[in-house]
Amino acid sequence: MLKGGCFCGAIRYEADDTPTQATACHCSICRRTSAAPFVAWFTVTPEAFRIVSGQPTRISSSEHATRTFCPACGTPLSFQSARYPDEIDVTICSLDVPEQVPPRSHTWRASGLGWVKLADGIRAYPEKCPE
Protein backbone atom coordinates (compact mmCIF):
# COMPACT_ATOMS: atom_id res chain seq x y z
CA MET A 1 0.00 0.00 0.00
CA LEU A 2 1.16 3.52 -0.81
CA LYS A 3 0.66 6.20 1.85
CA GLY A 4 1.11 9.91 1.67
CA GLY A 5 -0.24 13.32 2.48
CA CYS A 6 0.37 17.03 2.43
CA PHE A 7 3.25 18.91 4.03
CA CYS A 8 1.32 20.07 7.11
CA GLY A 9 -0.27 16.69 7.82
CA ALA A 10 -3.91 17.82 7.57
CA ILE A 11 -4.54 15.55 4.57
CA ARG A 12 -3.59 11.88 4.49
CA TYR A 13 -4.29 9.38 1.71
CA GLU A 14 -3.76 5.76 0.79
CA ALA A 15 -3.57 3.98 -2.56
CA ASP A 16 -3.66 0.23 -2.76
CA ASP A 17 -3.03 -0.57 -6.41
CA THR A 18 0.29 -0.91 -8.09
CA PRO A 19 0.47 2.29 -10.14
CA THR A 20 -0.36 1.81 -13.82
CA GLN A 21 1.79 4.80 -14.79
CA ALA A 22 4.43 7.00 -13.26
CA THR A 23 5.51 10.04 -15.22
CA ALA A 24 7.07 13.44 -14.74
CA CYS A 25 4.90 16.06 -16.43
CA HIS A 26 6.38 19.24 -17.88
CA CYS A 27 3.10 20.86 -19.00
CA SER A 28 2.49 24.50 -18.18
CA ILE A 29 -0.54 23.76 -15.98
CA CYS A 30 1.36 21.35 -13.74
CA ARG A 31 4.11 23.93 -13.56
CA ARG A 32 1.81 26.81 -12.61
CA THR A 33 -0.31 24.89 -10.11
CA SER A 34 2.76 23.60 -8.30
CA ALA A 35 5.22 26.47 -8.93
CA ALA A 36 7.77 23.79 -9.75
CA PRO A 37 9.71 23.07 -12.99
CA PHE A 38 7.80 19.77 -13.45
CA VAL A 39 5.62 17.43 -11.41
CA ALA A 40 5.95 13.66 -10.98
CA TRP A 41 2.68 11.69 -10.85
CA PHE A 42 1.62 8.10 -10.29
CA THR A 43 -1.66 6.77 -11.64
CA VAL A 44 -4.14 4.38 -10.02
CA THR A 45 -7.86 3.73 -10.45
CA PRO A 46 -10.14 6.09 -8.51
CA GLU A 47 -11.40 3.10 -6.51
CA ALA A 48 -7.87 2.37 -5.32
CA PHE A 49 -7.35 5.86 -3.92
CA ARG A 50 -8.88 7.24 -0.73
CA ILE A 51 -8.45 10.26 1.49
CA VAL A 52 -8.17 8.98 5.06
CA SER A 53 -8.05 12.34 6.86
CA GLY A 54 -8.70 15.96 5.99
CA GLN A 55 -10.55 17.55 3.09
CA PRO A 56 -8.62 18.70 0.02
CA THR A 57 -9.73 21.78 -1.90
CA ARG A 58 -10.68 21.23 -5.56
CA ILE A 59 -10.00 23.56 -8.45
CA SER A 60 -10.84 23.25 -12.14
CA SER A 61 -7.52 23.58 -13.95
CA SER A 62 -9.05 23.23 -17.42
CA GLU A 63 -12.46 22.50 -18.90
CA HIS A 64 -11.96 18.75 -18.32
CA ALA A 65 -9.64 18.53 -15.32
CA THR A 66 -9.81 18.90 -11.56
CA ARG A 67 -6.87 19.20 -9.21
CA THR A 68 -6.79 19.02 -5.44
CA PHE A 69 -4.48 20.55 -2.89
CA CYS A 70 -4.31 21.08 0.86
CA PRO A 71 -6.15 24.30 1.81
CA ALA A 72 -3.81 24.82 4.75
CA CYS A 73 -0.34 24.27 3.28
CA GLY A 74 -0.97 24.21 -0.48
CA THR A 75 0.60 20.84 -1.30
CA PRO A 76 -0.70 19.63 -4.72
CA LEU A 77 -2.24 16.17 -4.30
CA SER A 78 -4.24 14.86 -7.25
CA PHE A 79 -5.36 15.34 -10.84
CA GLN A 80 -8.42 13.86 -12.55
CA SER A 81 -9.67 14.37 -16.09
CA ALA A 82 -13.11 13.68 -17.49
CA ARG A 83 -11.25 12.29 -20.52
CA TYR A 84 -9.75 9.50 -18.38
CA PRO A 85 -12.45 8.55 -15.86
CA ASP A 86 -10.65 5.32 -14.86
CA GLU A 87 -7.57 7.18 -13.63
CA ILE A 88 -6.50 9.43 -10.82
CA ASP A 89 -3.01 10.90 -10.82
CA VAL A 90 -1.38 11.55 -7.46
CA THR A 91 1.79 13.57 -6.84
CA ILE A 92 4.69 11.19 -6.24
CA CYS A 93 6.41 13.70 -3.98
CA SER A 94 3.43 13.76 -1.58
CA LEU A 95 4.15 10.08 -0.82
CA ASP A 96 5.79 9.31 2.50
CA VAL A 97 8.43 7.41 0.47
CA PRO A 98 8.65 8.92 -3.02
CA GLU A 99 11.40 6.44 -3.88
CA GLN A 100 8.69 3.75 -3.96
CA VAL A 101 7.44 5.04 -7.33
CA PRO A 102 10.18 6.35 -9.59
CA PRO A 103 8.88 7.99 -12.80
CA ARG A 104 9.14 5.78 -15.88
CA SER A 105 8.91 8.64 -18.38
CA HIS A 106 8.70 12.38 -18.90
CA THR A 107 5.61 13.79 -20.62
CA TRP A 108 4.79 17.08 -22.34
CA ARG A 109 8.50 17.71 -22.56
CA ALA A 110 7.89 19.99 -25.56
CA SER A 111 6.21 22.40 -23.11
CA GLY A 112 9.07 22.17 -20.64
CA LEU A 113 11.55 24.75 -19.51
CA GLY A 114 14.76 25.15 -21.49
CA TRP A 115 16.91 25.18 -18.38
CA VAL A 116 15.72 21.75 -17.26
CA LYS A 117 18.31 19.31 -18.62
CA LEU A 118 17.28 15.67 -18.23
CA ALA A 119 20.00 13.11 -17.57
CA ASP A 120 18.05 10.32 -15.83
CA GLY A 121 17.99 8.03 -18.86
CA ILE A 122 14.22 7.58 -18.97
CA ARG A 123 12.24 8.35 -22.09
CA ALA A 124 10.93 11.87 -22.67
CA TYR A 125 7.77 12.26 -24.79
CA PRO A 126 7.03 15.62 -26.42
CA GLU A 127 3.33 15.29 -25.47
CA LYS A 128 1.25 12.85 -23.47
CA CYS A 129 2.93 9.55 -22.74
CA PRO A 130 1.43 6.81 -25.01
CA GLU A 131 1.56 4.13 -22.25
Site of interaction with Zn ion (CB under 5 A)? 6, 8, 10, 25, 27, 30, 70, 72-73
Q: How far is the CB of 124 from Zn ion (least distance, A)?
A: 14
**3-state class (DSSP) for residue 110:** helix
Is the torsion defined by CA of 13, 105, 114, 59 positive or negative?
negative
Answer positive or negative: Cα dihedral of 21, 66, 50, 95.
positive
Q: How far is the CB of 63 from Zn ion (least distance, A)?
A: 15
Per-residue burial over 81-96, b = 16 or more CB atoms within 10 Å of its CB, e = otherwise: beeeeebbbbbbebbe
Q: Is 14 exposed, middle or buried (0-12, 13-18, 19+ CB in 10 A)?
A: middle
What is the smallest separation between the CB atom of 79 and Zn ion, expressed in angstroms? Answer: 7
The nearer residue to Zn ion, 28 or 47, going by C-beta atoms, is 28
Q: Which is nearer to Zn ion, 15 or 77 (CB)?
A: 77
Residue placing its CB nearer to Zn ion in the complex, 47 or 122: 122
Backbone phi and psi for residue 94, each to the nearest 5 degrees, phi listed first:
-90, -5
Least distance to Zn ion from the beta carbon of 7, Å? 5
